[in-house]
Chain A
Amino acid sequence: MDTHITLPSALLERARKLAIEHDQLSAALENDFDAKKAKRAGELSRVANAVKELEKAKAALIELQGLLESNDAEMRELARDDLEATNAQLAESSHNLSVALTPKHPFADMPCLLEIRPGPGGLEGRFFADSLFQMYKAYCSSKGYRTRIVQYEASDSDGSTGSEGEIPLQEAVLEVQEQGAYGFFRGEAGMHRVQRVPATEKSGRTHTSAVAVWVLPSFPENGTSDSEADWDKPESDFYIDPNEVRSETMRAGGAGGQHVNKTESAIRLTHIPTGTTVSMQDSRSQQRNREDAWRLLRSRLAQQRREAREEQARQLRSSVLANSQITRGDKIRTYQYQQDRCTDHRSGLNTHNLPDVLRGGETLEKVMDSVQNWLINKDIEALIADEEAAAAPSKKKKGK
Chain B
Amino acid sequence: MPRLPPSLFWKARREISPLAASLLPACRDLQSTANELRWIKEHVQDTKSPIPAKIRVWRLVEKRAKGIPLQYVLGTQPFGDLEIKCRPGVLIPRPETETYTLHLATLLTQSHPPPPSLSILDLCTGTGCIPLLLLHSLQTTLPQTTPITIHGVDISPTAIALARKNHTHNPPPSPSPHHTLTFTQHDIFSPTLLSTLYPPNQNQKLPQIDLLTSNPPYISPHDFTHHTARAVRNHEPRLALVPSPTQLADGSNSRYACRPEDVFYAHLLEIAKAVRPRRVLMEVGGWEQAVRVVGMVFLGGEGGKDRGGGGGVGGYEVEVWRDEPAAAAASSGATGDGVERVEVAGREVVVRGVGRGRAVYLRLRED
Contact = CB atoms under 8 A, between A and B. Distances in A.
Interface stretch (B29-37, B162-170, B273-281): B29-37
B66 interface: no
A259 B283 CA distance: 13
A287 B81 contact: yes
A29 B95 CA distance: 65
B78 A283 contact: yes
Among A249, A259, A264, residue most surrounded by chain B Cβ atoms (within 10 Å)? A259
Interface string B191-205: 000000000000000
Contact of B91 (A247, A254, A258): A258
Contact of B96 (A158, A246, A257): A257
B232 A255 contact: no
Nearest to A168: B15
Contact of A264 (B30, B95, B228): B95
B81 to A, nearest CB: 6
Contact of A261 (B15, B16, B69, B327): B69
A257 B14 contact: no
Nearest to B72: A261
B263 to A, nearest CB: 15
Among A243, A246, A264, A284, residue most surrounded by chain B Cβ atoms (within 10 Å)? A284
B70 interface: yes
Contact of A287 (B80, B92, B97): B80
Given A159-B17, A255-B227, A265 B232 contact: no
Interface in B215-244: 215, 217-219, 223, 227-229, 231-232, 236, 240-241
Contacts of A31: none
Contact of B229 (A251, A261, A286): A261
Interface in A208-247: 243, 246-247
Given A247-B324, A285-B78, A255 B71 contact: no
Contact of A257 (B16, B32, B236, B283): B283
Contact of A262 (B13, B229, B356, B358): B229
Interface string B31-65: 11011100100000000000000000000000000
A329 interface: no
A286 B232 CA distance: 20
Nearest to A251: B95
B328 interface: yes
A283 B219 CA distance: 29
B94 interface: yes
Contacts of A255: 223, 227, 285-286, 356
A259 B285 contact: yes
B71 A261 contact: yes
A320 interface: no
A256 B98 CA distance: 13
Given A157-B15, A159-B16, A263-B36, A258 B78 contact: no
Given A259-B228, A261-B229, A156 B15 contact: yes
Given A156-B15, A261-B94, A287-B98, A249 B324 contact: yes
Contacts of B223: 255, 259
A281 interface: yes
Interface range for B? 35 or more
Nearest to B31: A281
Interface range for A? 20 to 34
Given A249-B324, A281-B35, A284-B77, A258 B219 contact: yes
A284 B78 contact: yes
A288 interface: yes
Contacts of A284: 39, 77-78
A287 B78 contact: yes
B340 interface: no
A27 interface: no
Contacts of A265: 78, 95
B356 A261 contact: no
Interface string B73-84: 000011011000
Nearest to B29: A252
B323 interface: yes
B98 A249 contact: no
A391 interface: no
Contacts of B39: 263, 284
B192 to A, nearest CB: 28
A247 B327 contact: yes
Contact of B232 (A157, A260, A288): A260
A257 B289 CA distance: 12
Contacts of B284: 257
B78 A288 contact: yes
Nearest to B43: A284
A256 B354 CA distance: 14
Contacts of A158: 14-15
Given A255-B227, A255-B285, A261 B95 contact: no
Interface string A277-294: 000010111111000000
Interface string B332-367: 000000000000000000000001101000000000
A269 to B, nearest CB: 11
Contact of A258 (B31, B36, B285, B323): B285
Nearest to B91: A258
B213 to A, nearest CB: 15
Interface of A: 154, 156-159, 243, 246-247, 249, 251, 254-265, 281, 283-288
Interface of B: 11, 13-17, 27, 30-32, 34-36, 39, 69-71, 77-78, 80-81, 91-92, 94-99, 102, 215, 217-219, 223, 227-229, 231-232, 236, 240-241, 283-286, 323-324, 327-328, 355-356, 358
21 contacts: A154-B34, A156-B11, A156-B15, A156-B16, A249-B99, A254-B227, A255-B227, A256-B94, A256-B358, A257-B97, A258-B91, A258-B218, A258-B228, A258-B232, A258-B241, A259-B227, A259-B285, A263-B39, A264-B95, A265-B78, A281-B35
Given A156-B16, A159-B17, A260-B228, 7 more contacts: A157-B15, A257-B94, A258-B215, A258-B218, A258-B240, A259-B229, A262-B32
